[in-house]
Amino acid sequence: MDARTLCLGVLQLGDASGYEIKKVFEEGVLSHIYETSFGSIYPALNRLVEDGLAICTEMPQDKRPDKKVYSITPAGRAALAAALQQVPAPDRIRSDFLFILMFGHLVPRPHLERLIDQRINWYRDTLARIDKCDTANWSASAQLFAGLGRTVFTAAAEYLEQNRHLLEQQESPTDRNGPAAAVAE
């Protein structure tokens, strides 16, 4: 998805400033599936306005610059609907945690165990955020989205909890010849 489509999607949920759009990807309903930056959001919003897919209204604020609030137009809704009909790219998972786990035999086991604990807690915190969403009035497809997210994060947390014992079978690099052995391998 390009930044324009992502912004249109958020604006479909309601009017928003660039900052509020960023928050949706940091803490909101889309935070566990997409990341985007201000460096992508603001040029995309400017282009959406230029193309008539969104409008910008400046709202005065006390002792602060005017707040720019963006709204999707009917043409923007049509563009979003067209973009959503494209075949999506395969899902790609970018995960520092999974990379570390792949090469976990090179780090001390206590460090790896802490990372697993932290990841389980992160999954549980994410699940709590998902559960706070009132999905009762969401469309069926949005409810499917929330349910799939809940299922994936629940399964990941449960998998780590139920299979962390596999680390007990793995010799830690510090178990062999001290920390330098991990670097030398």
Q: Within this chain, do residues 121 and 56 fall inside the same structural domain, yes or no?
A: no
Give the burial class of 65: count Cβ atoms within 10 A of its Cβ; 0-12 exposed, 13-18 middle, 19 or more buried. exposed
Instruction: Kindly report which listed range (75-84, 131-140, 142-151) carries the lowest average pLDDT score.
Output: 131-140
Q: Within this chain, do residues 102 and 178 fall inside the same structural domain, yes or no?
A: yes
Where a domain ends, among 42, 62, 84? 84
What pLDDT does 157 receive?
A: 97
Could you tell me if residue 89 is inside a domain? no
Q: Within this chain, do residues 20 and 80 fall inside the same structural domain, yes or no?
A: yes
* C-alpha dihedral sign at 128, 129, 130, 133: positive
Task: Judge contact between 89 and 5, C-beta under 8 A.
Answer: no
Q: Where are the beta strands (DSSP E) in the chain?
A: 54-61, 64-72
Rounded to an integer, what distance in angstroms lies between the CA atom of residue 17 and that of residue 70? Answer: 6
pLDDT at 179 over 70: no
* Full residue range of the structural domain in which residue 131 is found: 96-184
Q: Within this chain, do residues 70 and 40 fall inside the same structural domain, yes or no?
A: yes
Convert the pLDDT of each residue in 80-110 to its tens digit: 999 999 999 898 888 899 999 999 999 999 9
Convert the pLDDT of each residue in 27-69 to its tens digit: 888 887 888 899 999 999 999 999 999 999 999 988 988 999 9
Rounded to an integer, what distance in angstroms lies between the CA atom of residue 77 and that of residue 48? Answer: 11
CB environment 140-156: b (16+ within 10 A), e (fewer): eeeeebbeebbeebeeb
Q: Within this chain, do residues 126 and 166 fall inside the same structural domain, yes or no?
A: yes
Q: Within this chain, do residues 122 and 159 fall inside the same structural domain, yes or no?
A: yes
Q: Which two tokens stand for residue 21?
A: 């759009």
Q: Within this chain, do residues 139 and 105 fall inside the same structural domain, yes or no?
A: yes
Could you tell me if residue 91 is inside a domain? no
Q: Within this chain, do residues 33 and 73 fall inside the same structural domain, yes or no?
A: yes
Q: Within this chain, do residues 122 and 69 fall inside the same structural domain, yes or no?
A: no
State the CB neighbour count (10 A cutoff) for residue 83.
Answer: 15
Mean pLDDT of the chain: 89
Where a domain ends, among 38, 63, 84? 84
Q: Within this chain, do residues 80 and 103 fall inside the same structural domain, yes or no?
A: no
Angle, CA of 176, 179 and 180, to the nearest 5°: 95
**CATH at 62:** 1.10.10.10
Q: How many domains does the chain have?
A: 2
pLDDT at 185 over 50: no
Q: Within this chain, do residues 68 and 101 fall inside the same structural domain, yes or no?
A: no
Could you tell me if residue 74 is inside a domain? yes
Q: Within this chain, do residues 79 and 110 fall inside the same structural domain, yes or no?
A: no
Could you tell me if residue 48 is inside a domain? yes
Where a domain ends, among 84, 104, 120? 84
Residue 42 C-alpha from the chain's centroid: 19
Rounded to an integer, what distance in angstroms lies between the CA atom of residue 31 and that of residue 26? Answer: 5
